[in-house]
Amino acid sequence: EAQVTQNPRYLITVTGKKLTVTCSQNMNHEYMSWYRQDPGLGLRQIYYSMNVEVTDKGDVPEGYKVSRKEKRNFPLILESPSPNQTSLYFCASSTLAGTDAYGYTFGSGTRLTVV
């Protein structure tokens, strides 16, 4: 089944403790992206990647890091989480060519709470 897999689904952590949220897709998509979803603000893009070793900042990159060493994986790293990073996070991927171009496949989300 074509899918984007995020782990974990739920995470409670303490301020300053480094964490990684993993994201993997099995569709050979070139484009991957991370979003955070907050009430009243919709989805805001954190980082995106056009392909392996190519990443760029989205609208709200402060406090986050990403890497794209393999095409299928795009982990989100919070080096020193703070309470304002408490949010619902989504990973998404898409292809940039062919009839299925554009339009994202989203993961199921990771609900992060930083206390």
Partner 1 sequence: AQSVTQLDSQVPVFEEAPVELRCNYSSSVSVYLFWYVQYPNQGLQLLLKYLSGSTLVKGINGFEAEFNKSQTSFHLRKPSVHISDTAEYFCASEGSYIPTFGRGTSLIVHP
Q: Are 30 and 51 in contact (CB under 8 A)?
A: yes
Query: Residues in contact with partner 1, total (CB under 8 A)?
Result: 24
**Does residue 31 bind partner 1 (CB under 8 A)?**
yes
**Does residue 76 bind partner 1 (CB under 8 A)?**
no
**Does residue 98 bind partner 1 (CB under 8 A)?**
no
Q: Which of 42, 62, 69, 115 binds partner 1 (CB under 8 A)?
A: 42
**Does residue 40 bind partner 1 (CB under 8 A)?**
yes
Q: Which of 52, 71, 77, 109 binds partner 1 (CB under 8 A)?
A: 109
Task: Report the candidate in 84, 103, 91 with the shortest Cα–Cα distance to residue 41.
Answer: 84
Instruction: Please state, in angstroms and rounded to a whole number, the distance separating the CA atoms of residues 91 and 108.
Output: 8
In angstroms, what is the C-alpha Rg of the chain?
Answer: 14
